[in-house]
Amino acid sequence: MALRTTPTTDDGSTPVHPVDEVLSPPKLFGTGLQHVAAMYAGVVAPPLIVGAGVGLSPGELALLISASLFTAGLATLLQTLGVWRIGARLPFVNGVSFAGVAPMLAIAKEHGPKDALPVVFGAVIVAGALCFLAAPYFSRLVRFFPPVVQGTVITLIGVSLLPVAVNWARGGSPGAPGYGSAKAVGLAALTLGAVVLGNRLLRGFWQQMSLLIGLALGTLAAFPLGLADFSGIGGAQVFALPSPFHFGGPRFDVAAIASMCIVMVVSMTESTADMLALGRIVDREADERTLAAGLRADGLATAVSPVFNGFACSAFAQNIGLVALTRVRSRFVVAAGGGILVLLGLFPVLGALVSLVPQPVLGGAGIVLFGTVAASGIRTLAEAGMESTSHTVLVSVALGVGIVPIAAPTFYDGFPEAVRTLLHSGISAGCLAAVLLNLLFHHVGSAGRSLQGVPPWQSSPQPPTGGS
């Protein structure tokens, strides 16, 4: 029997996997800043919406945004660098989960502006702690995520995010000045063109920086068009330490806790899908242990986040597209991005500078990023093989179910709140459909018996390879 050996380089040393490669400081900062630019809008949107919903003053709203940046940075550092069995140690960005916005607004409506945030923070702490404890059990579901399910979910991640990029390209929100105007769409097209040409014409490090270059050019072009807003810089503090429980100590309400626990289940499902997707992109498969460590990081970051006035933390799928686009797989690059987020939280004036990037510019870049995620999913489906009828049915139904809330956002409005929370996300709805169909076709009855002894990550029949 042949012995397995560890590959070595010409000088006899063990080669470093690209995920564990440490780049030079300038490259770490530049590529890390790209990750921050890609996720910034997603981090600040939830506190903006929730803060407005509970009637915070502009100063308190700025504090809530800084807290979200600070806690997103801490969560990203924990996820990429890892401590003990906590952290996936992949180039995995964490930020404020958008899935919790609707339940938090419902809590605010029920408890009133004064008590809303303490009740929200209490619910988030409990939900995060339960996520941490449930991580090793939830991670065992990896056996139900064979390549055909992974490819379907990865494709849905990209497709689900594309409407966000389109909305950014129009101006961000219907109430924004110039929303949907030719100037806004033209600025998004200019940014998209700059990113595409950068990838076509540049080489090496500068090609990897094409997204940041496109964002910079788009922002510069926004000034003469009147689409750049300086108002956030003037009133921003230079330095501000996070104030623990600034809005009051946590309060624990059973109904609020239940709703946030449902949110965490949805976030855990999406984080699992994101880790599987990222593992394939960086050529380091996310096994059961990696998933458990990543989910523990989600849970711990979520439980600690309210101490610093932050919300639930989960994966940011748009950064997976950036990894695929730039082909920079180092987790230390994303850790550098986490460090930048911490600084943005401690120095609000820096966050105000980053926020100068107009929404249409982010939209143009987002089309590339999110489209790249969808393309990665299609590639995974091609590798899984679509010759099988069961694969075809699984992919078509799961994609259809996942696109329902994207095409018709009010489709589930008549359903109970718990069902709405689960199905309102196209990623969660499609992921659930794909897993159930995989169970039906590949695990139930004779199909399940035929899979005995097959590794969990290959738990669906593999396509024929040819030959006798």
Three-class secondary structure of residue 94 per DSSP: strand
- Over residues 179-233, the pLDDT tens digits come to 899 999 999 999 999 999 998 998 877 887 888 888 889 989 998 888 877 666 6
pLDDT at 466 over 50: no
Mean pLDDT of the chain: 83
7-11, 95-99, 361-365: range with lowest mean pLDDT: 7-11
pLDDT at 326 over 90: no
- Over residues 194-206, the pLDDT tens digits come to 999 998 998 877 8
Pick the more confident residue, 462 or 123: 123
Of 75, 16, 19, nearest to 281 by C-alpha is 19
Residue 369's pLDDT band, with cuts at 50, 70 and 90, is confident
pLDDT at 447 over 60: no
Residue 370's pLDDT band, with cuts at 50, 70 and 90, is confident
Q: In angstroms, rounded to a whole number, what is the distance separating the alpha carbons of residues 311 and 108? A: 14
Share of the chain above pLDDT 70, in %: 88
* pLDDT (0 to 100) of residue 465: 37
Residue 400's pLDDT band, with cuts at 50, 70 and 90, is very high
The CB-based long-range contact list for 430-433 (8 Å cut-off, 24+ gap) reads 430/152, 430/153, 430/156, 430/398, 430/399, 430/401, 430/402, 430/403, 431/149, 431/153, 431/156, 431/269, 431/270, 431/273, 431/398, 431/402, 432/269, 432/401, 433/397, 433/398, 433/401, 433/402
pLDDT at 5 over 50: no
* pLDDT (0 to 100) of residue 468: 30
* pLDDT (0 to 100) of residue 232: 61
* pLDDT (0 to 100) of residue 279: 92
Q: In angstroms, rounded to a whole number, what is the distance separating the alpha carbons of residues 420 and 410? A: 10
Place of tokens 């390879």: 465
Q: In angstroms, rounded to a whole number, what is the distance separating the alpha carbons of residues 405 and 424? A: 6
Q: In angstroms, rounded to a whole number, what is the distance separating the alpha carbons of residues 448 and 468? A: 25
* pLDDT (0 to 100) of residue 311: 93
Beta-bridge partner residues of 315: 94
Share of the chain above pLDDT 90, in %: 35
* One-letter identity of residue 48: L
Q: How many CB atoms lie within 10 A of CB 252?
A: 13
Pick the more confident residue, 435 or 303: 303
- Over residues 264-322, the pLDDT tens digits come to 887 888 888 889 889 989 999 899 999 999 999 999 999 999 999 999 998 887 788 88
* pLDDT (0 to 100) of residue 354: 67
Largest pairwise CA distance in the chain: 73
Average pLDDT score over residue span 74-85: 95
Of 275, 233, 265, 285, nearest to 457 by C-alpha is 285
Pick the more confident residue, 33 or 48: 33
Does residue 309 contact residue 63 with C-beta atoms inside 8 Å?
A: yes
Residue 448's pLDDT band, with cuts at 50, 70 and 90, is low
Q: In angstroms, rounded to a whole number, what is the distance separating the alpha carbons of residues 89 and 299? A: 15
The tokens describing 208, both together, are: 């990897």
Place of tokens 């991580």: 135
pTM of the model: 0.75
- Angle (CA) 143 148 150, round 5°: 65
* pLDDT (0 to 100) of residue 70: 95
The tokens describing 231, both together, are: 């108002």
* pLDDT (0 to 100) of residue 454: 45
* pLDDT (0 to 100) of residue 467: 37
* pLDDT (0 to 100) of residue 16: 87
Q: What is the CA radius of gyration of the chain?
A: 22
